Structure 1
């Protein structure tokens, strides 16, 4: 069952829900609105003589997402210089991330948010974003019990024709909280790759833009796989 606004506040007082920073205006009847942060990664063109992306390879991942090319939102007045654009609803000094038609980026929430003990979470795009071509988390919007962090968002501009600016600091998605009942001792921090603590101070200190990058290369399913290009030892 999804938690109501009252239950969300009650679980925050108990420490089972973490939201930082918390703004009461962003608390809805059964969810909490999260805002867009300023760092992001864009998909990069291939440097190989093929277009195959091995999602299980750290080298491929770093190439495809430009691991050394993290970008930062720019001022709207700079981003819109080449457009005959009226700043309707966007201030010249707002920071924006400009998405090309069909483009997907990895971006993040400003908020560190999640549940522990017996609370699990799910992210959904705001309805108004979906109606304006913006997809926020595809089908990867589940946060297990114990996952607390800035959430990584796989944001896609689904328009085939239009460039769309997203404004940093504005609401882009919502987090819904659910009660699971008692769990075994193993929460997300014991087996997950994207958060190793539920301590807020530690999480804030350790977070960096590179935390958004996918880590299938570090997945438990493939840790024993020997790369083909390495010579196998003869038995």
Structure 2
């Protein structure tokens, strides 16, 4: 079952889930709006090797935004630290961005019980699109589990910056 907006607030007050920072005006009937963090990363190579350590470039998003290019995958993070030892978080992109051709979390939208961090966001655009740090990017929902939950113990549940696996090599600003 999915938590309603009021239940998200109640469970947060109980300490059963984390959304930090939390702002009441980002609350929806069954979700919470998350925002895009201040940094984007991109793969440095034109051809990505799934068996290699892939180098990443980092770009701080300036105040006037950054124009995303089609044909690239951008890795960002949520502003908010999100997670729960009890509920399963699921992050999706905003439909309003999807209608502009901006797609977020298109392959890894499901979190794990026990993960709590700033989430890596997968971002792809189909046309030139300007995005801004701090803009509303998507929604997180929280789901209850059936049966004894197995808490996530992997490394991705504790990382607050955009990352890939195997560990990527960051080569600096572009």
TM-score band w.r.t. shorter chain: 0.7 to 0.9
Do structure 1's residue 28 and structure 2's residue 33 form an aligned pair? no
The 3-state SS of whatever aligns with 1:151 is strand
- Which is higher, the Rg of structure 1 or of structure 2? 1
Change (3 A) 1:177 1:45: same
Which structure's residues are more often strand, by fraction? 2
Could you tell me how far 1:75 is from its partner in structure 2? Answer: 2.9
Q: Is the 8 A contact 1:56 1:217 kept in 2?
A: no
CA RMSD of aligned residues (A): 1.9
Which structure's residues are more often helix, by fraction? 1
Q: Which of the pair has the greater relative contact order for Cα pairs under 8 Å at 6+ separation? A: 2
Q: 1:119-198 alignment to 2 at 5 Å?
A: 119-159=87-127, 163-184=128-149, 186-188=150-152, 190=153, 192-196=154-158
Gaps of 5+ in 2: 169-174
Greater Cα shift, 29-38 or 2-11: 2-11
Give the Cα–Cα distance (whole angstroms) in 2 for the partners of residues 107 and 217 of structure 1.
16
The 3-state SS of whatever aligns with 2:96 is helix
Could you tell me how far 1:107 is from its partner in structure 2? Answer: 0.5
Give the Cα–Cα distance (whole angstroms) in 2 for the partners of residues 9 and 181 of structure 1.
21
Q: What TM-score do the two structures reach when normalised by structure 2? A: 0.88
Q: Which residue of 1 aligns with 2:172?
A: none
Change (3 A) 1:75 1:7: closer
The 3-state SS of whatever aligns with 2:33 is strand
Gaps of 5+ in 1: 77-95, 197-205, 219-235
Could you tell me how far 1:158 is from its partner in structure 2? Answer: 1.7
Q: Where has structure 1 moved over 3 Å in runs of 4 or more? A: none
Q: What TM-score do the two structures reach when normalised by structure 1? A: 0.66
The 3-state SS of whatever aligns with 1:37 is coil
